[in-house]
């Protein structure tokens, strides 16, 4: 059984991982659950880890893995439901995907490298492709870029990662985008519009936010997920 807050946090982490490919920050989790401090998030994560719903990868920043999600049990008799505390959920659990149940894959073209530091020019590699689980993709076209640099490490995007990008020409504030600057420089940053200006924000205090007039920046895609290979 999980408390309401534990269940809400588990669902939020799972949704964030599926949408972005990386774990939410403690501040994001705190705001999502309307908690006053991050200490409450630490306690919830520890409880979920102790109960086998969540795994922390301590050697990587902000690396959480959802192991199973409870599905609310619909067949619990009403009398039995009434004796449970209101803030406790009873459920049945979906197990992680077994090794032999391989997800459906799709090939995504690998277009080159993209800077997660200072903007650099993308190097075209049209003959290469990356196999991606179809569950990680959204509607529309996608492409892949290899991350170069460390300016996005604080949100779990590292040098050498493969970024899977949903092709598009617009973005909302706070989304991580592929931005083309001055028609020849490409970078991966968090997008924010301020009037007639566009800010491209890093996630590393060693780098400064870059601000351009809106006509100098063209959105070429939104980040869907990050793939990483371990030696």
Q: Give me the active site residues, please.
A: 151, 189
Helix (H, G, I), strand (E, B) or coil at 125: coil
- Evaluate the CA torsion angle 8, 158, 148, 208 in order and state its sign: positive
Residue 113 near residue 146 (C-beta atoms within 8 A)? yes
Rounded Cα gap, residues 64 and 231, in angstroms: 20
Q: How many CB atoms lie within 10 A of CB 15?
A: 13
Q: Which segments of the chain does DSSP mark as H helices, in order?
A: 4-20, 26-32, 38-50, 78-82
Helix (H, G, I), strand (E, B) or coil at 4: helix
Q: How many CB atoms lie within 10 A of CB 183?
A: 7
Helices (H) and strands (E) in the chain, counts: 4, 15
């Amino acid at each position: 059984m999980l408390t309401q807050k534990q269940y809400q946090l588990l669902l939020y982490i799972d949704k964030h991982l599926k949408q972005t490919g990386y774990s939410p920050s403690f501040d994001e989790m705190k705001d999502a659950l309307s908690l006053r401090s991050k200490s409450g998030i630490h306690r919830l994560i520890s409880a979920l880890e102790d109960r086998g719903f969540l795994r922390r990868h301590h050697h990587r920043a902000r690396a959480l893995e959802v192991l199973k999600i409870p599905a609310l049990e619909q067949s619990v008799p009403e009398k039995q439901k009434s004796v449970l505390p209101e803030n406790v959920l009873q459920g049945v659990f979906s197990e992680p995907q077994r090794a032999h149940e391989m997800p459906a894959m799709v090939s995504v073209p690998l277009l080159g490298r993209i800077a997660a530091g200072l903007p650099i020019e993308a190097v075209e590699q049209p003959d290469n492709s990356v196999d991606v689980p179809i569950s990680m993709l959204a509607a529309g076209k996608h492409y892949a870029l290899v991350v170069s640099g460390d300016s996005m490490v604080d949100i779990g995007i590292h040098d050498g990662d493969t970024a899977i990008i949903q092709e598009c020409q617009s973005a909302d504030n706070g989304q991580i985008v592929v931005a083309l600057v001055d028609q020849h420089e490409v970078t991966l940053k968090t997008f924010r519009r301020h009037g007639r200006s566009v800010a491209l924000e890093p996630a590393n205090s060693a780098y400064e936010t870059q601000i351009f007039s809106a006509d100098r920046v063209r959105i070429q895609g939104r980040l869907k997920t990050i793939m990483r290979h371990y030696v």
